[in-house]
Amino acid sequence: MKKMEKIVIVLVLLSVGSCEMLEKSKDPGTEYTETLRIGTWNVQTLFDGEETGTEYAEYRSSAGWTDEKYRARLNAVAHAVNKLPEKTPDILGLIEIENLQILEHLVQGPLAKQGYNWLFFGNNPGASLGIGVASRFPFEETMVHSITSNGETTPRPILEIRLQIKGNLLICLVCHWKSKAGGGDTESLRKASARVILRRLRELKQEAPDIPVIIMGDLNENPDEFYRKADSTLSALVPDDPSAVERTGSSAQMDFLILSQNKPPKPEYFGTEALVLYSPWEKELEEGSYYYKDEWEAIDYFLLSDALFDQTGWDFDSCKVIKQEPFITNTKLPYRYDPKTGNGLSDHLPLILTLKQTKHVK
């Protein structure tokens, strides 16, 4: 890590200098647009080549998993990132990676030219997989928020990164909520994650109401989950509509996130104190990011606070699911990775969020 820190210091100085030269090169009184791209991608069980005992069975040496397979997969992931349309993301969240070393191998190896010099990784002790973030911009502050349910800490925390990017603050909460697999009451674990996000959103609102916040990652729940569970447990994601208010029993928002299609997202049916987030699904995005049992599911997300629509600082511009090679097969479905053959990439498709801000040259 010491070597990485020395590289970071050099590149910080170069980055600041190039930004100043860009602004000075423009005529006084002109306007120009800055663009920021953020990516989230569940890379599907990215384990390294060292066996520690927490790996899934198919990623152990007894099942034929080797360091050579790991290195080949690392190169395939990096190749896919390099093939993303337009430029690669400035901030990249990777879901389901085993450890920080994998991030280091990526940014110091096949992604070395992309300038990802600030890294953050989090999981809970004993967990098989965690969440990583690689950024071209320095982290002003980082936090790991643990999730507890019924007195137990779940293996999937929420990572928080705070950045000052070209003069404007931005906060990202990077998530991997509990999946529906495995049986039992998985919804309570997703609701526990939503409860932590709500608590943090309220804290940030008190700190400064205009702080822009992005919730990103794999939430393992569809935007219409509320309707799918009409006769069962309330979902962790609900729409801002009268039926949702009725089913919650009140306008109190306890352990669910309220999704809106409006820009900016403001409560229409829930109380004025409700925290509502904009979801690009249905309005901006098509089909889904994950294919399961012959159906598309929209379980990977960017959820945006109202401050990303106020025309000050960073504002929402667009969001896309990347549905192209090498992420898909010739059948237009995600190219799922197979550890036995070493073929494939991931069973999830990446999402790219673009933010913009207008700068004025004085």
Q: Residue written as tokens 């643990």?
A: 146
Residue 126's pLDDT is what?
Answer: 85
Task: Quote the pLDDT of residue 11.
Answer: 27
Q: Above 70 in pLDDT, residue 4?
A: no
Decide if 333 contacts 2 (C-beta within 8 A).
no
Model pTM score = 0.90
Cβ 350 vs Cβ 327: under 8 Å: yes
Indicate the pLDDT class of residue 149, thresholds 50, 70 and 90: confident
* 320-336 mean pLDDT: 96
- Which is more confident, 349 or 243? 349
> Confidence class of residue 250 from pLDDT cuts 50, 70 and 90?
low
Domain ranges in the chain are 2-8+36-360
**First CA to last CA distance, the chain:** 40
Lowest mean pLDDT segment, chosen from 10-24, 115-129, 158-172, 245-259: 10-24
User: What are the pLDDT digits (tens) for 52-82?
Assistant: 999 999 999 999 999 999 999 999 999 999 9
pLDDT bucket at 14, cuts 50 / 70 / 90: very low
Report the sign of the C-alpha dihedral through residues 120, 121, 124, 130, in that order: positive
252-261, 268-277, 323-332, range with greatest mean pLDDT? 323-332
pLDDT recorded at residue 339: 97
What phi and psi values does residue 334 have, to the nearest 5 degrees?
Answer: -55, 140
Residue 18 scores a pLDDT above 70: no
CATH code of the region 2-8+36-360? 3.60.10.10
Q: How far is it, in rounded angstroms, from Cα 339 to Cα 333? A: 18
- Residue 97 is predicted with a pLDDT of 97
Q: Write down the mean pLDDT value for the chain.
A: 88
Quote the pLDDT of residue 7.
25
